[in-house]
Structure 1
Amino acid sequence: MQSHFYRHDLVRRDVKQVVCSVCDTEQPVAQVCTNCGVGMGEYFCDICKFFDDDTGKQQFHCDECGICRVGGQENFFHCDKCGSCYSVTLRGNHSCVENSMRHHCPICYEYLFDSMKDTSVMKCGHTMHLECYREMINRDKFCCPICSKSVIDMTREWKRIDEEIEATVMPEDYRYKKVWILCNDCNDTTQVYFHIIGQKCGHCSSYNTRTIAPPVLPQ
């Protein structure tokens, strides 16, 4: 016999009545049972109709986000442009991207806005799960998966590439060819000498660049 299972998503805000699990009394949503007086949850949000007995999570309701969050209200602030709560350490210390949290993590594709996992805000302002960010860095991937900007200080790496290019002389046929490049870090477009190892931005000295026109022979 084939069984059919149906998933029902509860819209908490629409809940009007609850049933006490101790005395089976149906009643309007509240933190304490109107009949037997038992507490239905150590934490209760009347807006979200949310109960929780684990107060160690330091739950709080954010009116701007419209949901309950964890971690202690004193440790977070709501960024109106980014559209989400961020750690107070990021107040005035992050690049704002409109609704940056209202999308999926570019690594694991879980929706970030209401995720329970810690989130990392990169230099460019885009966001992903902290554990996904760390895995990306451990795999030597240093560019934002969304905008391709460098997410860490690459000064030492650029210096290493400078030294490698200086030690690697291009064949005569390619030595004086030029290409147009777009820098992913500063968005500037410049024409530079082509090199098989990489093209250095003439504006910010980044090697996080891409060729946008084929090599051009000198006139």
Structure 2
Amino acid sequence: MAAAGPGLGPGPGAGAGPEAPLLNCGHYSRSCRLKALCCGKFYTCRLCHDDAENHQLDRFKVSQVQCAKCKTVQQVKKSCERCETVFGEYYCDTCHLFDVDKKQYHCLPCGICRIGPEDNFFHCVKCNLCLAIHLRGNHKCVENVSRQNCPVCMEDIHTSRIGAHVLTCGHLLHKTCYETLFSKGAYRCPLCMRSAVDMTKYWEELDTEIAQTTMPSDYQNMIVKIMCNDCQLHSTTPFHVLGLKCSGCGSYNTAQDGGLITP
């Protein structure tokens, strides 16, 4: 399945008027600095603050900014009250976000701004996050699924600037984490262990390989109890070192659930 709507990230371009200095911090491009209520320091963005300090900046409590052109400290707004420098092409009065235009929109249920265009996404009430429009009615809902850390990198998913990949089981990974994990041959969800990609062809190849690989005589009649990670069925199957096949769904994504049994 495709990616969920990401939070906001860096991008090229200028968000201010002529001759206004543009602050490029690696996260955002804007023409003002935020005053952190927590420590009274000025930072280009909350992420720069959090990287440098031992506490986090609450973006919603930011009340003052400093113009990068005339250095005036003022109440947070889109343009400088003194020199009229536009602090950002996009400005959200809730998130206090300034940035270049990336077709951003503020999602009220998510509580943060997302990269758009808005028409390309919808907010899933049960999952409680914005998903790509083609996933409407075409994904497995997991309640508040984004309100947890990515199981690969353990970083926050909901407010991340990296898009989230929705697995068939409904769990989320950062898109980059998904690509890294599965490029190394992993095929299961790190949380529930269900197959996250279509393994039908591989299971068929494993069927053929097992049929061509005879077990030693001492093990030829052995069976074993297994539990299938894909369909959750508990069953018995002939023991084979290459794989233990679920009698219900045909998956080899199984775990041994007991010792060997001699019929």
Query: Paired residue for 1:61?
Result: 106
Following superposition, the deviation at residue 92 of structure 1 comes to: 1.0
- Among 127, 130, 141, the alignment partner of 2:172 is 127
Query: Paired residue for 2:98?
Result: 51
The 3 A distance-change label for structure 1 pair 6 and 161 is closer
Query: Paired residue for 1:146?
Result: 191
Q: Secondary structure at the match of 1:102?
A: coil
Q: How does the TM-score come out when normalised to structure 2?
A: 0.75
In structure 2, C-alpha distance between the alignment counterparts of 1:185 and 1:49, rounded to whole Å:
44
Query: Paired residue for 1:92?
Result: 137
In structure 2, C-alpha distance between the alignment counterparts of 1:173 and 1:202, rounded to whole Å:
23
Q: Secondary structure at the match of 2:226?
A: strand
Q: Secondary structure at the match of 1:214?
A: strand
In structure 1, C-alpha distance between the alignment counterparts of 2:173 and 2:247, rounded to whole Å:
30
Q: Secondary structure at the match of 1:200?
A: coil
Q: Secondary structure at the match of 1:192?
A: strand
What letter corresponds to residue 261 of structure 2 in structure 1?
A: V
Deviations for 1:86-125, whole angstroms, at most 9, x for unmatched residues? 1112111111112222222222222211111122111111
In structure 1, C-alpha distance between the alignment counterparts of 2:172 and 2:217, rounded to whole Å:
45
- Among 237, 241, 244, the alignment partner of 1:192 is 237
Following superposition, the deviation at residue 148 of structure 1 comes to: 0.9
Q: Secondary structure at the match of 1:213?
A: strand
Pairing 1:13–2:57 present: no
Pairing 1:179–2:230 present: no
Higher relative contact order by CA 8 Å / sep ≥ 6: 1 or 2? 2
Query: Paired residue for 2:214?
Result: 169
The 3 A distance-change label for structure 1 pair 114 and 167 is same
Query: Paired residue for 2:6?
Result: none
The 3 A distance-change label for structure 1 pair 23 and 134 is closer
What letter corresponds to residue 32 of structure 1 in structure 2?
A: S
Q: What percentage of aligned pairs have identical amino acids?
A: 44
The 3 A distance-change label for structure 1 pair 185 and 20 is same
Q: Secondary structure at the match of 2:134?
A: helix
Following superposition, the deviation at residue 7 of structure 1 comes to: 4.2
Q: Secondary structure at the match of 1:170?
A: coil
The 3 A distance-change label for structure 1 pair 91 and 172 is same
What letter corresponds to residue 126 of structure 1 in structure 2?
A: H
Query: Paired residue for 1:31?
Result: 78
In structure 2, C-alpha distance between the alignment counterparts of 1:86 and 1:133, rounded to whole Å:
16
Following superposition, the deviation at residue 24 of structure 1 comes to: 4.4
Pairwise CA RMSD: 1.8
Moved more, 165-174 or 183-192: 165-174
